[in-house]
Chains A and B, each alone.
Chain A
Amino acid sequence: GQQVMQIPQYQHVQEGEDFTTYCNSSTTLSNIQWYKQRPGGHPVFLIQLVKSGEVKKQKRLTFQFGEAKKNSSLHITATQTTDVGTYFCAGQMTTDSWGKLQFGAGTQVVVTP
């Protein structure tokens, strides 16, 4: 079964509102990455988190890695129409040494103007 779970699957947001998407792993991760896929496009790397408790920001996006390195979150403030897309988290298991990632099912974000 899927080792990396992501919730919610869908997120409808009013423009200007904030929202958070969550990622949980059944096993400890060596690192976690986040990707964004625009409608009709392919996944594009956003950020990687490596350290326990790490927080990184990219403009209105805040990424967090849990203390136990088993969960992560992406928080978007003041959502804009350009944030539309599907956001995937992808974890690298500590047991994997080939750069293999376990992707979550993604959170599809729809923004209402």
Chain B
Amino acid sequence: DVKVTQSSRYLVKRTGEKVFLECVQDMDHENMFWYRQDPGLGLRLIYFSYDVKMKEKGDIPEGYSVSREKKERFSLILESASTNQTSMYLCASSLLGAGSSGVDSTDTQYFGPGTRLTVL
């Protein structure tokens, strides 16, 4: 079974603090993703990575950065947390390799349990 873990289930930070959210997957997946989930908006992609040290912006990258130094670990960084970044953050991974078109089931995304971040 694929296991995706996230460093914290709940996190409370103050405005202006630097925040690190860590995600680790144990299935040697190529792709990793960071989403935020807000009521009525579904899952919105912040950043994704298709290989070590490679990253691509998603739909809402502003205010966030990411780091992928090792294949199994993908970190989301809030350089200076703001109240509008209060949200549920979900990490996911998938097997699909770079350049593949994803016509089979290998691009199923496996999600971590989520981190509920509150910025005061």
Q: Find out whether the CB atom of A33 lies under 8 angstroms from the CB atom of B108.
A: yes
Tell yes or no: A66 within 8 A of B by CB.
no
Q: Find out whether the CB atom of B100 lies under 8 angstroms from the CB atom of A104.
A: no
Known: A6-B42, A42-B90, A88-B42. A101 touches B100 (CB 8 A): no
Complex interface: stretch among B14-22, B66-74, B77-85, B91-99: B91-99
Q: Find out whether the CB atom of A98 lies under 8 angstroms from the CB atom of B111.
A: no
Q: Find out whether the CB atom of A45 lies under 8 angstroms from the CB atom of B109.
A: yes
List 8 additional contacts besides A9-B40, A88-B42; criterion CB under 8 Å: A2-B41, A31-B103, A45-B108, A88-B43, A99-B94, A99-B100, A102-B45, A103-B45
Measuring CB to CB, which residues of chain B are less than 8 angstroms from any residue of chain A?
Answer: 31, 33, 35, 40-45, 48, 50, 56, 58, 90, 92, 94, 96, 98-105, 107-114
Q: Find out whether the CB atom of B103 lies under 8 angstroms from the CB atom of A43.
A: no
B52 to chain A, nearest CB (A): 14
Q: Find out whether the CB atom of A100 lies under 8 angstroms from the CB atom of B48.
A: yes
Q: Find out whether the CB atom of B107 lies under 8 angstroms from the CB atom of A42.
A: no
Number of interface residues of A (CB under 8 A): 28
Q: CA separation between A91 and B104, bound complex, in Å?
A: 13
Q: Find out whether the CB atom of A97 lies under 8 angstroms from the CB atom of B102.
A: yes
Residues of the A chain whose Cβ atoms lie less than 8 Å from the Cβ of B94: 99
Q: Find out whether the CB atom of A30 lies under 8 angstroms from the CB atom of B102.
A: yes
CB-CB nearest in chain B for A3: B59
A69 to chain B, nearest CB (A): 12
Contact of B107 among A92, A103, A105 (CB under 8 A): A92
Residues of the A chain whose Cβ atoms lie less than 8 Å from the Cβ of B105: 48
